[in-house]
Chain A
Amino acid sequence: KAGVTQTPRYLIKTRGQQVTLSCSPISGHRSVSWYQQTPGQGLQFLFEYFSETQRNKGNFPGRFSGRQFSNSRSEMNVSTLELGDSALYLCASRTGDNSPLHFGNGTRLTVT
C-alpha cells in the first residue's frame, strides 16, 4: 500500500500570500488530520476530517482552513501568510477513532 503523500515538499511564500497544501491518505483511510510542527511547540493539531466533514478543529485562527474530498484527499489553505506560519505541516491518515496515525513526509513552508 502506498503511504500518505503530501505535496509539495517545500514551499517558499511571501507574507500576505496564501498557500494550499495537498494530502492523499492511505487507500481506505477516511480520516485525515493536519498538524503544524515547529521547533518550540511540537506537533499542534490543526483539524481532522472524516468523510468530508470537519470533526475537530484546533486552536488556530480562521486563516487556516481545510477540506476533504469524496476520495478522502484533503487540502489545507492558509491565507494572509505571516512569518510565524513557517513550519512543517504534517498530514496523517487513519482508519478510525483510536487507530494509529500514519504521517506523510510533510510540507515545509517558509514565509519570508
Chain B
Amino acid sequence: GQQVMQIPQYQHVQEGEDFTTYCNSSTTLSNIQWYKQRPGGHPVFLIQLVKSGEVKKQKRLTFQFGEAKKNSSLHITATQTTDVGTYFCAGVGGNTPLVFGKGTRLSVIA
C-alpha cells in the first residue's frame, strides 16, 4: 500500500535558524497536504499542494511539491518559538484515504 516517509523525526533549532522537513511517497500523489500539531493539540491543516512543481508560501513557511509528485518539503525561515510542534505531511493517491507521514517534531530553543 501507499507509504509516506517523513524526515527528520526530530529537529532542535535555535530561534532564528531555518528548518526543513521532507516527505517522500512510495507512489505518485494526486495532492499533498501539510498539518501542524501543537503539543497537546490536534492536527491543524496548513496547506494543500496539487500541481507538479508547485511552490506556495505562507509568511515564513514555504511548501514545495516535487516535479514527479512523489515528494514534498516544508521550509520555515527564521524559526520562532510559536513554530514549535509536529509537522505532518499527508498524501492522497487516487481514491485512497489520506496517508500521514510520522511527522517531524520541531523544538525551538529561545
Q: Which residues of A are in contact with B by a Cβ distance under 8 Å?
A: 33, 35, 41-45, 48, 55-56, 58-59, 90, 92, 97-98, 100-106
Contacts and interface: CB of A to CB of B under 8 A. Distances in A.
Contacts of B44: 103
Majority secondary structure of chain A interface residues (helix, strand, loop or mixed): strand
Majority secondary structure of chain B interface residues (helix, strand, loop or mixed): loop
Interface of B: 1, 30-31, 33, 35, 41-45, 48, 50, 88, 90, 92, 95-103
18 contacts: A43-B88, A43-B90, A43-B100, A43-B103, A45-B99, A55-B97, A90-B42, A90-B43, A98-B30, A98-B48, A98-B92, A101-B35, A102-B45, A103-B43, A103-B44, A104-B42, A105-B41, A106-B42
Q: Which of A48, A101, A105 has the most CB of B within 10 A?
A: A101
B54 to A, nearest CB: 14
Nearest to A47: B97
